[in-house]
Structure formats: structure tokens, C-alpha cells
Homo-oligomer: A and B are copies of this chain.
Amino acid sequence: MEPLDAFRREVVAWLEDNCPRSQREPAGPEELYQGGSKGCFSSQDARTWFERMREKGWTVPDWPREYGGGGLSPGQAKVLKTEMKRLGCRPPLATGQGIAMLGPALFEYGSEQQKREHLPRIARGEVRWCQGYSEPGAGSDLANIQCRAEDKGDHFVVNGTKLWTSNADRADWIFCLVRTDPKAAKQAGISFLLIDMRQNGIEVRPIELISGESDFCQVFFENARAEKHNLLGDLNRGWTVAKRLLQHERTLMSQLSEIAVGPKFSPGEVARRYLSLENGVLTNSGLREQLVRYEMDAMALALSNQKAFEESGQGRLDPNSTSFFKYYATELDKRRGELKLALMGTQGLGWSGPGFDSDELMEPRTWAFSKALTIAGGSSEVQLNVIAKRVLDLPE
């Protein structure tokens, strides 16, 4: 206990000195710094805050210092996270695919050269990454990879297309599953390749979602080039890396509601704002029932997350738990979206223009986007399949 307490005091003092006042307000969806060559700061304060945190390595507090991280222990990292949350500090650099996905994969499978090349650039926000897994027509059948990489001696030539690539239009590099052995069975013959997107052979087309956003893209490769030393893991063994990454993705998605810059008000606050109370109790008993059921399940999930964190001993989830958390958290995100619309009534239906404040206008879009969460990153059905097979050991 003692050392963490001292650390906590130190962290709080530093944050209070260094986090600009404006960076301690809730951020809108466009206000977070995303990094990369196309990233921009929403204000001078945002830049200052990012630069101070970057100097301490606290954009990725638990990465080793030699790769641009803060070198904190899991316990220290949690203290930092907790105190930032308590003080309302915004993340200085949004947790994108580089920090959450590729970073851990590099630590586990990367050569020293690969780690030195890529990790610090992620930590310093210089390179923004995106993930090329899904392909048109494949859906949940992730191992159904058609995008192929031909061996040309010192480099590969890549042809094919990737779908549902988050923020590909704003990324600099893409990590990709490609087929390097067309004759091998599904999972075999797939390699994991890092590709610089700033070349002519790559075209990116955003896809409009029902939420009105275009976070997802389709990426077209036409004789795109990737250097051989950018192969992560062994040739034709990329599926191993991919599977591990899927777990990170699930973990990430199960914590979306915690890390996402969603609407400001909790369902309870929304209820108090749009419904009437009598003696401190909502008079609309049907909606109240729905609210309490949601809040109870959300609290139970949070406690379950806490339990898993404590049990893991190192801040990392048991691989078998990731499916359950991804499933439950994203289904709950959908429920929260429906609940808030229900609580807000007609004030929750605004798409644009007058009659709604900016918080209200965010709700239907968050609601619509939540529909994607139980599909992306392995649909709920896929997660249930995994639980049935791996956790419950049911016969197939």
C-alpha cells in the first residue's frame, strides 16, 4: 500500500500543476487529439497538455521507458488512470489502434528492430494506425482472407480490399492480415503485415454509418508495397498474432463506455432532467424500472471488471474472459442507448438544428453508433460461440 500512496500524491500534485483547466472539462467527440500526420489539436491547451504528458511517457504509462512509455507498474498505471478520471483530465492522446492493439502485439511478437521502429512513434503520437482485418463478404468469418501478398524478394506486393477499417482515412499505417499462401487451408497461409499507407497503391473510401459518421472505411490495395522486415511474426503464421489482437480488441470494446467520450449525462441524470420526481422517486414507474435494471446491470459489470483486474494480478484479462466482457459490455451499451432515448422522449430524437442543445443532439448519434458495437470486433454471436466452445467446453 505505502509506495502507491506516495505515488498517488505525487501524481495528483503533478496533474494539478500541469493539466490546463480547459483540459479538465469533458471533451466532445472531435476534441481529443488522435495523433498521426493528420491529427490536429483542438486548442493550444490541448497541445500543451499532450506535450507535457508525452515528455513523462504518460501517453502510454505502462510501456517501458525505452519505447517512449512511462515505465509504470500496472498498479501505478491504474492509480494514474483513476486520478485522471477523478480530476476530469482528458486523455492527452486518444487510445487508438496503435496504443491498444498494435502496441501489445509488438511487445509480444515484434523483433527488437520492429519495436524500436514503431513503438516510440505510437507513444509520441507521430504515427496513427488502423487495422485491416475484415473483408467484403467475410463478415464474422474473419479467417476468410482473400487479400493477398506476393513475395517479391525483399518486399511483398499487396492486392485486395479491406472493409470496416476504422479511421483508415486518418491513419498513416495499417496492420493487415494478408494471404501469403493461397493453397493453404483457411487459417494457415495468413500473414500479419505492417504497411505504410502513404503510397499510391492504396486508396481509402469512407463508409457512411447510420449514426451519420464515417468512422469506418473500405481500403483498396492495388500493387501496394510492403517491406519484408514489416512482417510481424512468422510468414504464414499471422493468425496467431491476429487471434491475440482480437482479445485486445475485445477488451478495448468492453471498456468503451469507460473510455469513450460519449454523451455527458448518465442515464440517472437524464432521467432526473426529462422526467418528473415525487418525493425523490420518478413518477414514470415503467421507465424507472427500466432505468434501475440498466443501472444495476451496469454496476454489476463494473464490479466484474474490477474483480477480473484484481484477479489477473497484472492488469490483464484472462483470454477466456475477453469474450464475455466484450459481449456483455457492448450489449449493455446498446441498452443504454435505447434507455436514454426512452428517458428523453421527444428530446432524444433530434438529428440537427434548433430545438435541441448539443448534449441532446449527441444522444441519437451515440445510440445509432452503439448498434455497430455488437457487430464490430467480433459480433455478439461470435463471442457467444467462443464462450460455448472455450469456456464451457461444449461439443461442436
Where the two chains meet, the residues of A that have a C-beta atom closer than 8 Å to any C-beta of B are 285-286, 288-289
Instruction: For the complex, give the distance between the alpha carbons of A93 and B346 in Å.
Output: 56
- A285 cross-chain contacts in B, Cβ below 8 A: 285-286, 288-289
CA distance A285 to B285 in the complex (A): 6
Per the bound structure, the CA–CA distance linking A38 and B289 in Å amounts to 52
Collect the chain B residues with CB atoms within 8 Å of residue A289's CB.
Answer: 285-286, 289
Q: How far is the CA of A286 from the CA of B285 in the complex (A)?
A: 8
Chain B residue with Cβ nearest A288:
B285
CA distance in complex: A285, B292 (Å): 12
- Top 6 nearest A-B pairs (CB, nearest first) are A285-B285, A289-B289, A286-B289, A285-B289, A285-B288, A285-B286
A285 to B286, CA, bound (A): 8
A283: nearest chain-B partner, CB-CB: B285
Among residues of B, the one whose C-beta sits closest to the C-beta of A292 is: B286
The chain B residue with its CB closest to the CB of A286 is: B289
Pick from A285, A286, A288 the residue with the most CB of B within 10 Å.
Answer: A285
Q: Report the minimal beta-carbon distance from A115 to chain B, rounded to whole angstroms.
A: 48
Q: How far is the CB of A170 from chain B (nearest CB, A)?
A: 40
Question: Complex Cα distance A285/B293, Å?
Answer: 13
Q: How far is the CB of A295 from chain B (nearest CB, A)?
A: 14
The answer for the CA separation of A288 and B289 in the assembled complex, in Å, is 11
Chain B residues whose C-beta falls within 8 Å of the C-beta of A288 in the assembled complex: 285
